[in-house]
């Protein structure tokens, strides 16, 4: 079993508040892993540290054995763009662009031609069940559809891991169930790791491993 991300004794405080308290964890490649815990437990903070969106006060995170700390800002941005896809609770799609364009943009940023990027985007939108909504803008899509587009966007650069922070938190239970199933299908089909912060019991039940966080510690 190969380890994709290894975190060593991470701590992070905001003022007096210790939000992440000496957390060490390994994220295996190819698995669907859920992070659960009450609101304020430090789930988002931990995910951001593991995804290099935030820096710990102490401790270290290694991605395939390479410490984020050892990389320049530029190298770190490259590693992130190439290897990590992010999905948030609110989709963060660009309102003035179509579904295809929203999905294609990260590939174009990574240097893929517009034509190739849009081809890839169409294939991924098909995979997430959105082939019939390619030219719709975010405001013309339902919440579940917007989240599907955001998932396709997270996959466009063939990342090794997709990190999602409460991706079903804004959806009704039917759509939440469908999106949870989609994560599991994509995980087995693409062999990509999915690390998902969730309050959704169904999504946690589909995970091959559940990490429980409470008061900044793994319990």
Enter the tokens of residue 214: 């409470």
Q: Which is nearer to Mg ion, 146 or 198 (CB)?
A: 198
Angle (deg, nearest 10), helices 143-155 and 173-190? 20
Q: Taking CB under 6 A as the rule, does residue 42 contact ligand ADP?
A: yes
Q: Taking CB under 6 A as the rule, does residue 168 contact ligand ADP?
A: no
> Taking the complex as a whole, how short is the minimal distance between the CB of residue 35 and ligand ADP, in angstroms?
8
Find the binding residues for Mg ion in span 12-51 (CB under 5 A).
43-44
> Taking the complex as a whole, how short is the minimal distance between the CB of residue 61 and ligand ADP, in angstroms?
16
Q: Taking CB under 6 A as the rule, does residue 44 contact ligand ADP?
A: yes
Q: Taking CB under 5 A as the rule, does residue 168 contact Mg ion?
A: no
Q: Taking CB under 6 A as the rule, does residue 219 contact ligand ADP?
A: no
Contact 145/177 with Cβ under 8 angstroms?
Answer: no
42 binds, among ligand ADP, Mg ion, none (CB under 5 to 8 A by kind): ligand ADP
130-148 exposure pattern, b = at least 16 Cβ within 10 A, e = fewer = beebbebbbeebebbbbbb
With CB under 6 A as the contact rule, the residue among 31, 43, 127, 148 that binds ligand ADP is 43
Q: Which is nearer to ligand ADP, 2 or 39 (CB)?
A: 39
- DSSP state at residue 42: S
Q: Taking CB under 6 A as the rule, does residue 167 contact ligand ADP?
A: no
> Taking the complex as a whole, how short is the minimal distance between the CB of residue 37 and Mg ion, in angstroms?
9
Q: Taking CB under 5 A as the rule, does residue 102 contact Mg ion?
A: no
CA distance 82 to 198: 24
What distance lies between CA 87 and its chain's CA centroid? 5
> Taking the complex as a whole, how short is the minimal distance between the CB of residue 47 and Mg ion, in angstroms?
8
CA distance 189 to 204: 19
Stretch that binds ligand ADP, among 43-51, 55-63, 93-101, 175-183 (CB under 6 A): 43-51
Q: Which residues make Cβ contacts (< 8 Å) with residue 139, sequence separation at least 6?
A: 95
Phi-psi region of 217 (alpha: psi -120 to 50; beta: other; left: phi over 0): beta
- Beta strands 66-67 and 193-197 are unpaired
Binding site for Mg ion (CB under 5 A): 43-44
Binding site for ligand ADP (CB under 6 A): 14, 19, 37, 39-45
């Amino acid at each position: 079993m190969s380890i994709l991300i290894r975190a060593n004794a991470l701590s992070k405080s905001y003022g007096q508040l210790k939000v992440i308290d000496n957390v060490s964890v390994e994220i295996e490649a190819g698995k669907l892993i859920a992070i659960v815990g009450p609101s304020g437990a430090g789930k988002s903070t931990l995910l951001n540290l593991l995804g290099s969106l935030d820096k710990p006060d102490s401790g270290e995170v290694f991605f395939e054995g390479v410490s984020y700390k050892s990389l320049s800002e530029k190298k770190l941005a490259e590693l992130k763009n190439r290897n990590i896809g992010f999905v948030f609770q609110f989709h963060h799609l660009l309102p003035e662009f179509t579904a295809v364009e929203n999905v294609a943009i990260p590939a174009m940023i990574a240097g893929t031609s517009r034509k190739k990027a849009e081809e890839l985007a169409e294939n991924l939108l098909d995979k997430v069940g959105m082939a019939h909504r390619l030219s719709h803008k975010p405001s013309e899509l339902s919440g579940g559809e917007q989240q599907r587009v955001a998932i396709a966007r997270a996959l466009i650069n063939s990342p090794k891991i997709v990190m999602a922070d409460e991706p079903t938190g804004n959806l009704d239970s039917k759509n939440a169930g469908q999106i949870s199933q989609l994560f599991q299908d994509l995980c087995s089909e693409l062999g990509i790791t999915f690390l998902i912060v969730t309050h959704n019991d169904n999504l946690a039940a589909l995970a091959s491993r559940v990490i429980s966080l409470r008061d900044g510690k793994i319990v």
